[in-house]
Chains A and B, each alone.
Chain A
């Protein structure tokens, strides 16, 4: 018969040799299969109507350790009774216990049952018998003896009286009860037909081995069929963090667009983070509430004096730029303060200070800091997507085109540019994307053309298009998150089960 596995065939053949009916144990012995394997085979065979499983259940009782003890030395109350008889039918409790040789822990049992069986009474510290001669053995004691002798008894075979006695012993916690099952297998007519035809017993293997492959013995064995639809064990691949995947994708897009990657320090002087970007020293963004300043080390060094003076003059009165400037006294010391950079634009402007010749296209996707309480919306530490295009004839429209291309490559189709404000760019805009699921516009970040007040001290003569947009916001859209903290929670479950970004 097709589709029978080796152990099922073996079980079937063994049954045939027993004239079609045998216990599981017999089949196991005959076939050489384990008991559990025979049972498994029997279940499959019965499902296929080749075998019928007859089950018989019964209950057996055996004595536990304490029960065996009492069986040999007598129940505690019997031993106390005998001791009292020896002492003339009345004695102090202590004396009687000593005479009976009872262990301390069974004294209450002995006294309790002596009273219950009405063999004696306890008055104060005295113990008196109600009987003059020793009563004969009760049903409980007879059963105890029988069980000790036979090791185990079948409960169904006991008389009513003995069943009651067993109940007493069970309540005294002297016996263990167990259900026994006897299974007998019997070939059905269909089973007979199959078995009579005879079955080819070929070896079956679950795992191919080098030995089977190289020896060619695989030709003579049967390879077990698996339930291929059954769930397999779970494995997790090693992979990049989802946010890292998005960082890599963002880098890749800029590289595809011909941008060069730059990277700078996490700690910056206020000079590069703010002053070089025409952010006045009393600008609210520079306050302790928004920026992390360092307690150690506190101050850094400023770049060459010519550059510093140009920046200072531009802040104070506009220098040669034609601007009004911010009209205050610029402080060197303020500019030396060290901060955790609040934007990667600090790196961009530093790059421009030493690379003046257009065309320039550089970018970074890197870490920045803001002094913010960490909430579902805000982090104190996150990433910025930063870049510039500096060339003779680039315009605001080129900036829009660059950013639009970047976000289209990320799959964001509906992008708009709304007017905005940054101290270092003019015209400025913010990039917004329409989120079809949330049905609203999401701010992605800022952009603009560097102000003449920013460019002049760096001696840059051409327009510079610049942007600094949020990575985490983009990641939340891509990953469908509504709590930004998830990106840094490192929940293994989330990391393991989040599919790769494509």
Chain B
């Protein structure tokens, strides 16, 4: 989740009154923030990705103002009529078709604001733009260039400009090949024959979306007038990004001015900051929240969340939603606004009246029984991960590698496949506990996975039990006694223990466990080579059983 560090002194400027860190820390969680850190003069909070409008002080402040009832209801955003024109060339339709823009005049930025602006831009790139894929933003010093502007696409080596933070001119082709941002985002355009470019009246480059701005329009503390551009292949994302950005800049003291955007065959006036309207049945809100709010009561809750509402028919409110609230999709989202405005802290927990009968899952009953027997036999339970690797799972066990369930993107080579058996994990546990006193008797009742093409997910989850006994005198006789005790007490009928071969066990001291003539497990003394592979110094005997095969009464499907 994105993080924003709020200094109370700056916050106070936005709120119009002083605020202490403790006060902010007390209320912010009730607006949906997670407290990361509370300092003497700052609060570091995380916000949820749906509330991307919380990426600026302005965004947090307007919510907090409503919540503290310093200013409630819909914030109004005025924008002056357009003076500047942006032409969108049809050449961009093949690479990054949409651009919207806005102008912000008479803004005063200090060094800190400039940094915040950059952070906001990055948060929007991530939150709405999906790492610039759906939308990306350029913020420019308007006074460095001259309108009208043109959003076009050019041959990769046909122009040269100085990219932001550099001193030498580069062609778009060179930027993709050498510039750090070019390398990071080239995949978004390098497949096209022409690259997007935003230029002014004289062909001077403002930016090369979505890669980098030009040095020419760099924003600093002296910048007074801004030109905002947002481009992307998703009109929706482009529009949302601009709404959040423009409203934040207006709250920071800028005067918004519209831009005429000429698409081939269509003219748009941007930004569109017209509040959206959505209906809310108050009875629906009351039903979901367990409240008995009146119409007025519901309106007050919504206003505390910076929305507005009026009664349009019996029991129905028409809710006005500020342009930066891009997260509201459905009436239910307004219900949550009512709840937040009411205060989650005021919602009194109650126990549902719903009566149902509790029941354990049959597989877990089986697991419980097995655990009870094994602990009764003096075995200690361990819990290993189901993810493992082929070296331990097959090589150490003297087994030929099979085709296990395999991850496409393992986080480390250590956890790359899903285990098909539990024993390798138990042997690893023994190897890692050589300093502890013996005998060591361990067991695990847990999941293994294997490929099964008959199932919807092509994979099968099964419940296994494995046990090991490790000490200077451990042998087949001992483990067989334990295994028989298990089978007998599980109530298994028709079981047999027959001589068998298994590469992980000593030949002549290996047996298969059969139930109704079907093999369900293996039992024996671990092969000394396997012990050497793991670095285990004591004789070890073990068994592993597919527990689900033991339950004959109810055949369990997973």
**Which A residues are closer than 8 A to B by beta carbons?**
234, 236-241, 243-244, 248, 251, 254-269, 282, 284, 288, 292-301, 303, 318, 321-325, 327-328, 338, 340, 358-361, 364, 367, 369, 371-374, 380-381, 389, 391, 393-398, 400-405, 416-421, 426-430, 432, 441, 443, 449, 451-453, 463, 465, 487-488, 490-493, 495-496
In Å, the complex CA distance between A360 and B455 comes to: 26
- Smallest CB-CB separation from B437: which chain A residue? A234
In Å, the complex CA distance between A256 and B331 comes to: 35
Chain B interface extent, by class: 35 or more
In Å, the complex CA distance between A427 and B340 comes to: 9
The verdict on B378 contacting chain A, using a C-beta distance below 8 Å, is: yes
Please list the 6 inter-chain residue pairs (A to B) with the smallest Cβ-Cβ separation, ordered nearest first.
A395-B290, A421-B48, A400-B349, A397-B290, A427-B336, A267-B459
Report yes or no: B332 in contact with A260, Cβ–Cβ below 8 A.
Answer: no
For the complex with contacts A323-B329, A395-B291, A427-B336, 6 further pairs of A-B residues with Cβ separation under 8 Å are A241-B383, A261-B361, A393-B353, A396-B289, A400-B349, A492-B442
Report yes or no: A451 in contact with B330, Cβ–Cβ below 8 A.
Answer: yes
Give the residues in chain B near A405, CB-CB below 8 Å. Answer: 351
The verdict on B144 contacting chain A, using a C-beta distance below 8 Å, is: no
Report yes or no: B455 in contact with A265, Cβ–Cβ below 8 A.
Answer: yes
> Given A238-B441, A244-B371 in contact, is the A418-B29 Cβ separation under 8 Å?
yes
Distance to closest chain B CB from A320 (angstroms): 12
Report yes or no: B49 in contact with A493, Cβ–Cβ below 8 A.
Answer: no
Report yes or no: B447 in contact with A241, Cβ–Cβ below 8 A.
Answer: no
Give the residues in chain A near B379, CB-CB below 8 Å. Answer: 238
Give the residues in chain B near A403, CB-CB below 8 Å. Answer: 349
- Set B364, B433, B449: member contacting A263, Cβ < 8 A: B364
> Given A294-B408, A419-B339, A496-B380 in contact, is the A282-B289 Cβ separation under 8 Å?
no
Report yes or no: B415 in contact with A380, Cβ–Cβ below 8 A.
Answer: yes
- Smallest CB-CB separation from A327: which chain B residue? B236
In Å, the complex CA distance between A212 and B21 comes to: 79
In Å, the complex CA distance between A418 and B50 comes to: 16
In Å, the complex CA distance between A237 and B374 comes to: 11
> Given A292-B407, A396-B347 in contact, is the A264-B558 Cβ separation under 8 Å?
yes
Give the residues in chain B near A401, CB-CB below 8 Å. Answer: 349-352
Q: Which of B31-39, B69-77, B82-90, B110-118 contacts A (4 or more CB under 8 A)?
A: B31-39
**Which B residues are closer than 8 A to A by beta carbons?**
29-32, 34-35, 48-51, 126, 130, 133-134, 234, 236, 287-291, 329-333, 335-336, 339-340, 344-345, 347-361, 363-364, 368, 371, 374-387, 403-412, 415, 418, 429, 432-433, 436-437, 440-442, 447, 449, 451, 453, 455-461, 558
Give the residues in chain A near B48, CB-CB below 8 Å. Answer: 420-421
- Set A298, A402, A430, A432: member contacting B352, Cβ < 8 A: A402
- Set B329, B375, B455: member contacting A318, Cβ < 8 A: B329
Report yes or no: B350 in contact with A418, Cβ–Cβ below 8 A.
Answer: no
Distance to closest chain A CB from B556 (angstroms): 9
Distance to closest chain A CB from B3 (angstroms): 15
- Set B288, B374, B433, B458: member contacting A338, Cβ < 8 A: B458
Distance to closest chain B CB from A233 (angstroms): 10
Tell me the number of A-to-B contacts counted with CB atoms below 8 Å.
286
Report yes or no: A367 in contact with B411, Cβ–Cβ below 8 A.
Answer: no
In Å, the complex CA distance between A502 and B31 comes to: 36
- Set A300, A396, A418: member contacting B30, Cβ < 8 A: A418
Report yes or no: B405 in contact with A251, Cβ–Cβ below 8 A.
Answer: no
Report yes or no: B387 in contact with A380, Cβ–Cβ below 8 A.
Answer: yes
- Set A323, A426, A441: member contacting B336, Cβ < 8 A: A426
- Smallest CB-CB separation from A493: which chain B residue? B436
In Å, the complex CA distance between A338 and B74 comes to: 45
Report yes or no: A254 in contact with B358, Cβ–Cβ below 8 A.
Answer: yes
Report yes or no: B457 in contact with A260, Cβ–Cβ below 8 A.
Answer: no
Report yes or no: B407 in contact with A294, Cβ–Cβ below 8 A.
Answer: yes
Report yes or no: A261 in contact with B345, Cβ–Cβ below 8 A.
Answer: no
- Smallest CB-CB separation from B428: which chain A residue? A490
Name the residue in B32, B335, B340, B381 with the highest tally of chain A Cβ atoms < 10 Å from its Cβ: B381
> Given A240-B371, A265-B457, A419-B30 in contact, is the A361-B387 Cβ separation under 8 Å?
no
- Smallest CB-CB separation from A397: which chain B residue? B290
> Given A238-B441, A241-B382 in contact, is the A449-B349 Cβ separation under 8 Å?
no
In Å, the complex CA distance between A245 and B350 comes to: 28
> Given A255-B360, A259-B358 in contact, is the A367-B447 Cβ separation under 8 Å?
yes
In Å, the complex CA distance between A241 and B354 comes to: 34
Give the residues in chain B near A402, CB-CB below 8 Å. Answer: 351-352
- Set A261, A358, A492: member contacting B436, Cβ < 8 A: A492
Report yes or no: B380 in contact with A239, Cβ–Cβ below 8 A.
Answer: yes
- Smallest CB-CB separation from B131: which chain A residue? A284
Report yes or no: B333 in contact with A297, Cβ–Cβ below 8 A.
Answer: no
- Set B339, B353, B406, B412: member contacting A294, Cβ < 8 A: B406
Name 27 A/B residue pairs within 8 A (Cβ), A-sorted: A237-B375, A240-B375, A255-B358, A256-B358, A259-B358, A260-B356, A260-B357, A263-B361, A263-B363, A266-B449, A266-B459, A284-B126, A284-B130, A295-B407, A297-B458, A338-B457, A380-B387, A389-B354, A395-B288, A396-B290, A396-B339, A398-B350, A401-B349, A401-B352, A420-B32, A432-B29, A490-B433
Report yes or no: A397 in contact with B350, Cβ–Cβ below 8 A.
Answer: yes
Distance to closest chain A CB from B22 (angstroms): 13
Report yes or no: B387 in contact with A421, Cβ–Cβ below 8 A.
Answer: no
- Smallest CB-CB separation from A328: which chain B residue? B234
Distance to closest chain B CB from A427 (angstroms): 4
- Smallest CB-CB separation from A362: which chain B residue? B356
> Given A296-B403, A492-B433 in contact, is the A426-B335 Cβ separation under 8 Å?
yes
Distance to closest chain A CB from B321 (angstroms): 12
> Given A260-B357, A294-B407, A391-B354 in contact, is the A418-B344 Cβ separation under 8 Å?
yes
> Given A265-B460, A396-B290, A426-B332 in contact, is the A492-B409 Cβ separation under 8 Å?
no
Give the residues in chain B near A418, CB-CB below 8 Å. Answer: 29-30, 32, 34, 344
